[in-house]
Chains A and B, each alone.
Chain A
């Protein structure tokens, strides 16, 4: 299964009586009804760890591109109308700024490791606090209340998985808690953010900018306001899209399928 296709529903499962295993690409499994699949005796696998590094890199790429106005800058540099580069054209400093990571799993932690090298102050919010050694290794400070993180961060990066609890985790209230100079970066799932509230917040300068590798839906309808906002960077869900990683993902999926068909324990099974 690539990019959440085909959609697995009761109809499909009924039409495939010999289906033994569904191997899903990537780590997210919010698009799968695990209970339903289990009831048909179908095993499910994903590719959890291999995507972490590239996805963390993507988070940092979006953070840097947004803060330094890279896309806008490139457009200026190549535009037929440009005669000179204005001296007062500035971006926002990354080094020494505060990054708030919402969701400190494998991917969130890798983001923290990278951000530390940029001398960033790191706050994080997670269901559970990480071990002290893990926190000290990246200089991360735990925020039990997400509000504390939102109020102090210059950059808020979402690295949670999509569950009923994280659905619309970032809404009007959360956006208003953020600094007006802050940037929201989303490498999780579009549904973690209340997208309408985000559009409003960006239009009314409640927050400064957003950089999104994920939206809902993907892709957005072509007349969606997010596509027109100058302070938004959107990428087409390419968190794990590198040649090397995709190759490994395919190998892992094939491995899981072979095991499933042979009746052996399925590597990376999702229960």
Chain B
């Protein structure tokens, strides 16, 4: 059977691609990933077997941006907390106690202004938010102006000014634990951290400490390390944390679109044609 396999469509990081598997599939030509993140793959190893790799960048950006905005809004308006109050058997709540944060006029700091980060900026602008961004490289002036975004060459500058910090970077050795104790302490005590990247971009222990001691106000995490977290993890018990089960691109439409992209890449690889979204080891 192993000899027949020419393509793998990787769904939700499974199967795990290791040396053993690659050796057992001598005719494997391509691995197509369902999604854009490739941090779960050893790109060099796969390439060394002459196997091409592709991700699905086009389909994910709007849906992931939507996830980021959903978390931003849910956190700002304490949605999970108040829903639980609304349906709880005890009716005793004082409405004056459940105030949220006004978005209009607040500052959103986007760390990672790729396609997804940019779509978040487009959405946040409609909520009349001020937008700062930090990226490896600065965007074109027209792109910045279209969303009224101000570039922060230094991440510290963004962290100090933002009311909401949204992480939209890909996981690389450079972004691993990008947000640690120092970065959290630079943030305003009234600020919220939103992570739709990868759990490993944040020093999770430092985050727990920061949330427990009021160094930052709240966090909303679509991604953690690992997923799911162990059931006794402190993050699960904090009142000022929303955790979602890697919603990312989990919609009917996005699932369809990434599968279409993956199939395009697989067919191209099997025909010896250039792949629409090939990923090379850097």
Contacts and interface: CB of A to CB of B under 8 A. Distances in A.
B102 A76 contact: no
B67 interface: yes
Interface in A192-251: 219, 222, 227-228, 233-238, 241-246
B80 A70 contact: yes
Contacts of A117: 122-123, 125-127
A124 B86 CA distance: 29
A77 interface: yes
A219 B228 contact: no
A114 B126 contact: yes
A6 interface: no
Contact of A89 (B105, B243, B245, B253): B245
A113 interface: yes
A119 B122 CA distance: 10
Contacts of A244: 101-102, 105
A116 B247 contact: no
B191 to A, nearest CB: 15
Contacts of A58: 77
B251 A60 contact: no
**Interface size grouping (class) on chain A:** 35 or more
A77 B79 contact: no
Contact of B246 (A54, A60, A85, A93): A85
Interface in A63-79: 64-65, 67-71, 73-74, 76-78
**Interface size grouping (class) on chain B:** 35 or more
A61 B126 contact: no
A109 to B, nearest CB: 12
A95 interface: yes
Interface stretch (B41-49, B88-96, B265-273): B88-96
A84 B71 CA distance: 21
A118 B128 contact: no
Contacts of A96: 62, 253
A97 B127 CA distance: 19
B236 to A, nearest CB: 5
B127 A73 contact: no
B252 A236 contact: no
B264 interface: no
Interface in A27-77: 53-54, 57-58, 60-62, 64-65, 67-71, 73-74, 76-77
B244 A74 contact: yes
Interface of B: 11-12, 62-63, 65-67, 69-71, 73-74, 76-77, 79-80, 82-83, 85-87, 89, 91, 93, 95-96, 98-105, 122-123, 125-128, 227-229, 231, 236, 242-247, 250-255
Given A89-B245, A95-B63, A118-B66, 16 more contacts: A54-B102, A60-B69, A61-B77, A62-B79, A64-B66, A65-B79, A68-B244, A70-B79, A70-B80, A92-B251, A227-B86, A227-B87, A236-B93, A241-B98, A241-B99, A242-B77
6 contacts: A68-B66, A68-B67, A85-B246, A93-B254, A117-B125, A235-B77
